[in-house]
Amino acid sequence: MTSLARNIGISVLAAPVLACGGVLGWFQAFAVSAMGIAASIYTRPPPLDNSVTAMDSFMMNLDRVFPVNPGNRMFAVMRTDTTPDFETVKKFMSEICNDYIRFHSLAIRASSVRQSTWKKVPTIEWEKHIKLWETADATAMEKKVEDVMNEELPFERPLWKVDVVKNRATDGGTIVLTCNHAIGDGLRMVRMSGSFLRFEDGSKAELELLARMSNKKESSAKKVNYLALIPRAFKDFFAVLTADQAKTETGTCVHAPHTVFPRENRRSIAVSTMPFQPVKDIKESLGVTVGDVILTGFCGAIRRYLEHFKDPSLASPEGPLMRSFCAVSMPDMKDRLSGPDSIYNKFVMPSLTLSMKKDRKDRLEDTVATMNKVKTSLEGPLTLMLTSVMGQLGLEEFAGKTSEKVFANHSFVYSSVPAFEKPVLAFGQKCSGLQGFYANIVTQTIFMTYNGNLTFSLMTDKSIVKDPQLLVDLFVTEMNDWHASVETRKKK
């Protein structure tokens, strides 16, 4: 599809968006749509930088479009046996800055969101990007880690920093790489991490999933029957338009209905880690996917959490109603590239209704059905298209307010990110654990596999969520109980 055809198409879609959203009447909405078509043909300038996707532009301007978001920061947290010095960190980050231009550039934001671009800076002021800290013990280290994760990244310099926090009691520590999400999404950032992560033999750490995507031949892609997609497209389009009017969540001890975390509130983290083998055992025994097992276990942990706090929704005949967005990185031809344009943003966030049924078998059946629906749903791509519509018509603020209403009716953002099956060195130091976090306006959860373990990392507002550490611990309890029951059935 050409740029012109795409722009005309999204202008046509603007009419139902504006009318159903209550912004304009139908007549006025169609008038605006007509003006959008005219603008598409005659006046709309091309993007200044073709390497900047529409999603990149949105993420570069998230504080304008979505002002409640607390800085759009994502974090790679590496737990190491020893800590690197300043020059070692500089050496590795120099390689990243040379290989990926966004780490060596300022985000230049124009009045028109789509005209945003990157401008390379002549030099990096390393002392402003790399900080070394020392703490007395593990407790003080964790507090300092949270402190540095609550610092915003200024747009006056490239949108990243590295904090090295040493625990003097053990000589071990934590390395926190903070990046603005505008640089790239989670899956592409894992790909980039090969610049500072090495396997023990000295080779760059490469994610096998992305390697398979890079080697996949274009001709092997499945052909799409676009006519068959038309009924689903209309159904999913209506779901997107009415997302802010969905039935209110009833489970309240994690997230109060119709609320989001205030931007100024401190974000806190909670982490639990367990062996990955039980997940694989359950998968093989029940004939489902790893994703199905993890999400079902997550739902079980949430139900246990509700039971712990005696949530009133458990007493209703329908049971608790709880939702989560599911952040999914989408493959692209760029995944076959290397170099400056190979990290970017292309992801969708379909909405999931989390199964809170008491019986684990029922929860698993619901989860499998939900994930199968997500795999064929057009809600994510249509949401991206509508975001582009709002940008084209200068209605980013309206898009942000609508998105905030939708977020306020979700307790979580759920993400599962594969990491490395073998141990790695982080900035030259032996790495005992990898964790990912994102500062969001609702509780953000990221499940990551690394070196035979599965880590559940959670970032939330502790002043609102009662006991985040309990929730991540209950996930381990749920998975251990589930694995034990599967193993017991095998022996019978």
Q: How far apart are CA 453 and CA 433, in angstroms?
A: 9
Residue 119 neighbours by CB under 8 Å, 6+ apart: 105, 106, 108
Q: How far apart are CA 171 and CA 275, in angstroms?
A: 25
pLDDT category at 334 given cuts 50, 70, 90 is low
| pLDDT exceeds 70 at position 384 | no
The torsion defined by the Cα of 144, 146, 147 and 149, in degrees rounded to 10, comes to: 130
First to last CA, the chain: 58
pLDDT category at 227 given cuts 50, 70, 90 is low
| pLDDT exceeds 80 at position 330 | no
- Tell me the average pLDDT across 407-423: 91
Give, as one character, the DSSP assignment of residue 241. Answer: H
Residue 482 neighbours by CB under 8 Å, 6+ apart: 278, 282, 297, 300, 360
pLDDT category at 218 given cuts 50, 70, 90 is very low
pTM across the whole model: 0.86
Give, as one character, the DSSP assignment of residue 337. Answer: -
φ and ψ of 271, to 5 deg: -140, 140
Residue 401: the pLDDT is: 77
Output the average pLDDT for the chain.
Answer: 84
| pLDDT exceeds 50 at position 101 | yes
CA atoms within a 13 Å half-sphere pointing along the CA-CB vector of 215: 6
- Tell me the average pLDDT across 329-343: 62
| pLDDT exceeds 60 at position 22 | no
Q: How far apart are CA 164 and CA 145, in angstroms?
A: 9
pLDDT category at 44 given cuts 50, 70, 90 is very low
Task: Classify domain 225-417+443-491 at the CATH topology level.
Answer: Chloramphenicol Acetyltransferase (3.30.559)
Most confidently predicted of 200-214, 218-232, 467-481: 467-481
Other CB atoms within a 10 A radius of the CB of residue 242 amount to 11
Place of tokens 């009419």: 15
| pLDDT exceeds 50 at position 1 | no
| pLDDT exceeds 80 at position 355 | yes
| pLDDT exceeds 90 at position 242 | no
Domain pair 65-212 / 225-417+443-491, same fold = yes
Nearest Cα neighbor of 425 from 78, 76, 77 is 78
Residue 317: the pLDDT is: 84
pLDDT category at 48 given cuts 50, 70, 90 is very low
- Tell me the average pLDDT across 100-115: 88
- Tell me the average pLDDT across 222-226: 56
pLDDT category at 49 given cuts 50, 70, 90 is low
The torsion defined by the Cα of 102, 103, 108 and 114, in degrees rounded to 10, comes to: 30
Residue 261: the pLDDT is: 94
Residue 21: the pLDDT is: 52
Place of tokens 């504080």: 63
CA atoms within a 13 Å half-sphere pointing along the CA-CB vector of 358: 8
Q: Could you confirm whether domain 65-212 is CATH 3.30.559.10?
A: yes
Instruction: Give the pLDDT confidence of 114-139 residue by residue, as tens digits.
Output: 788 999 999 999 999 999 999 999 99
| pLDDT exceeds 60 at position 333 | no
| pLDDT exceeds 80 at position 275 | yes
Q: How far apart are CA 412 and CA 389, in angstroms?
A: 26
- Spell out the domain ranges in the chain: 3-44, 65-212, 225-417+443-491
Most confidently predicted of 212-216, 255-259, 338-342, 462-466: 462-466
- Contact present, 249 and 323 (Cβ < 8 Å): yes
| pLDDT exceeds 50 at position 43 | no
| pLDDT exceeds 50 at position 5 | no
The torsion defined by the Cα of 365, 367, 372 and 376, in degrees rounded to 10, comes to: 140
- Contact present, 160 and 127 (Cβ < 8 Å): no
pLDDT category at 219 given cuts 50, 70, 90 is very low
Beta strands 160-167; 130-135: pairing state: parallel
- Per the DSSP assignment, residues forming a β-bridge with 73 are 180
Residue 2: the pLDDT is: 43
Output 12 or 104, whichever has higher pLDDT: 104
- Name the 3-class secondary structure at 485: helix
Residue 54 neighbours by CB under 8 Å, 6+ apart: 114, 384, 387, 388, 391
Instruction: Give the pLDDT confidence of 425-471 residue by residue, as tens digits.
Output: 999 999 999 999 999 999 999 999 999 999 999 999 999 998 999 99
Output 32 or 63, whichever has higher pLDDT: 63
Which of 96-100, 159-163, 290-294, 477-481 is predicted least confidently?
96-100
pLDDT category at 376 given cuts 50, 70, 90 is confident
